[in-house]
Amino acid sequence: MRIGDLSDGELARQVRARPGLDVRIGPFLVNLRLGLCEPLPLLQRMWHDYPLEPSAGIRDFHVSLDHNGWLRRWWRPQARFTVDGRSPFQPLAAAHHFPMLEWGLNWCVARRGHHLLMLHAAVLERGGRALILPGAPGAGKSTLCTALAHRGWRLLSDEFALVCPQYGRLLPLPRPIPLKNGSIGVIRDFAPEAEIGPAFTGTRKGTVAHVRPPSAAVARMDEPATPGWLVFPRWQAGADTQLEPLSRSDAFLLVASNAFNYELLGETGFITAARLVERCGCHTLSYSNLDEAIVRLGALAEAAA
C-alpha cells in the first residue's frame, strides 16, 4: 500500500496516532508522526507513491513535526521538527511546515547514512548508468535535475548521491525537489507537466516550491544504477553551453570536498570515491539554456549506449 492509497481521514489518523506511519523512502524506513494537520494535503501529494511498510523490522529515523508549545499554536505559530525525540533545529514558522519536514529528513540522512558515501549531488539514470551532478548552492543543480527528470532521465535523487561502498552503485532516494525563487517559474515554463506544490515564501532559502518525484522514479527506487558520468554543473546567466572534460584527479578533489562524510569514512571513503571517479566520465558543464544542456548530457548517454 502507498501513502496515496490512504483516504485523507485514514492518513490523518495514522500519522497522528502511535506508532505513526512507516514509510519507505529509498533505502531508508522513516517513521513519521505529525502533530499539525497543515502538511497533510501536501504530504499526500508529494509523498503519494511511497510504500507503507508497517511490518518492517528496522526504522532508520523516527521523525515528527509538532506545534512548538501550546501558546505557539495561536500566537505566531511555530513548528518543531524532532528526530528520535530530539530537536536538531530551532523551531520555524508553522507556515513552513513541509519545507521544514524535508530539510529535517535531509539532516537525518546526512547524519545517519554513514554506511554509504554521501555526496551533495543530484543523480539521474539512463540506460542503467548514473549521471551524478554535484553542485554547490546556486549552481543550478535542482533546476537541471528537475528538467532532466522530465526529459527521459530517471530521478534517483536531487540532494544525495548515495554510493554503496561494497558495489559502487548509486542508490535511489527520489524525494520532492525543492525549487527556489526564479527556478520555480523556469520549470513551470519548461515542464508544464511537472507537478509543483504551493510556494512557501519567506523561508531561509527564499521562496521554495516542491516538485513531486515522478511516480516511475519512486516505483523503481529499489533499482540502483552503476556510475556513468560525473558532471559538475554551473548555471550562469547568458553563458554558452560548454561541456568540457575534467581530469580524474580534479574530479576526485571535487567529489571529496562535496561529500558529507568522505573524511569520516576514512579508507572506505577514499576507495569508494576513487572507484566512483574511475568508473565515470568526468566533465564540467557551464550553461544558461536548459534545452541545450539536456541535449549535451543526452549525447553522453547516447554515446555510451
Partner 1 sequence: MTVPSSTAVQRRWRLSSAPLLEVEWDGERLLYHGASGETHFLNATGARVVERLREGDADLDELLAALDPESLGIAPELLRDQLDALLTRLDELGIVIGTTTA
Task: Return residues touching partner 1 (CB under 8 A).
Answer: 247-249, 252-253, 256, 263, 266-267, 270-271, 274, 277-278
Q: Whose Cβ is closer to partner 1: residue 190's or residue 270's?
A: 270
Q: Whose Cβ is closer to partner 1: residue 121's or residue 246's?
A: 246
Give the C-alpha separation, 92 to 54, whole Å: 30
Q: Whose Cβ is closer to partner 1: residue 241's or residue 268's?
A: 268
- The residue assigned the cell 568540457 is 244
Give the nearest distance from C-beta 269 to partner 1 in angstroms.
9
Q: H helices within 54-174, ranges in order?
A: 97-112, 141-149
Q: Whose Cβ is closer to partner 1: residue 193's or residue 267's?
A: 267
Give the C-alpha separation, 242 to 172, whole Å: 28
Give the C-alpha separation, 62 to 84, whole Å: 5
Side-chain-side CA neighbours of residue 237 (13 Å):
3
Give the nearest distance from C-beta 141 to partner 1 in angstroms.
24
Give the nearest distance from C-beta 263 to partner 1 in angstroms.
6
Secondary structure of residue 283 in the 3-state scheme: strand
- Nearest of 140, 113, 94, 106 to residue 232 by alpha carbon: 140
Give the nearest distance from C-beta 255 to partner 1 in angstroms.
11
Give the nearest distance from C-beta 274 to partner 1 in angstroms.
5
Cβ neighbours for 279, distance < 8 A, ≥ 6 positions apart: 168, 226, 227, 228
Is 156:114 a contact under the CB 8 Å cutoff?
no
Q: Whose Cβ is closer to partner 1: residue 95's or residue 256's?
A: 256
Q: Whose Cβ is closer to partner 1: residue 84's or residue 263's?
A: 263
Give the nearest distance from C-beta 168 to partner 1 in angstroms.
14
